[in-house]
Amino acid sequence: MYMKVRIGCHVSIAGSLAAAIPRALKRECSTFQIFTRNPRGWQYKDIAEEDSAAFREAVAASGMNPVVAHMPYLPNLASPRDEVYDKSVTTLCAELERCHHLGIPYLVTHLGSTLGTPAEEGRERVVRALGAALNTHATEVTILLENTAGSKNTIGNRFDEIGSILDETGENNRLGICFDTCHAFAAGYDLRTSASVDAVMEECDDTVGSERIHLVHLNDAKADLGSGRDRHEHLGEGMIGPEGLAAVLRHRALHHLPFICETPVDDRRDDLGNIRYAVSLAEGTTGTGPL
pLDDT digits (tens, 9 = 90+) for 100-113: 999 999 999 999 99
Element (H, E) at 215: strand 213-217
What amino acid positions are annotated as catalytic residues?
Answer: 40, 70, 73, 110, 146, 180, 183, 217, 230, 232, 262
Say if CB 150 and CB 186 are below 8 A apart.
yes
Q: What is the pLDDT along the chain (291 residues), one digit of tens a residue?
A: 345 899 999 999 999 999 999 999 999 999 999 999 999 999 999 999 999 999 999 999 999 999 999 999 999 999 999 999 999 999 999 999 999 999 999 999 999 999 999 999 999 999 999 999 999 988 999 999 999 999 999 999 999 999 999 999 987 789 999 999 999 999 999 999 999 999 999 999 999 999 999 999 999 999 999 999 999 999 999 999 999 999 999 999 999 999 999 999 999 999 999 999 999 999 998 655 444
Residue 121's SS3 state is: helix
- Number of helices (H), then strands (E), in the chain: 9, 10
Burial status of residue 147 (CB atoms within 10 A of its CB: 0-12, 13-18, 19 or more): buried
The values of phi and psi at residue 227, to 5°, are -70, -25
Q: Where are the domains of the chain?
A: 6-283
Class of domain 6-283: alpha beta
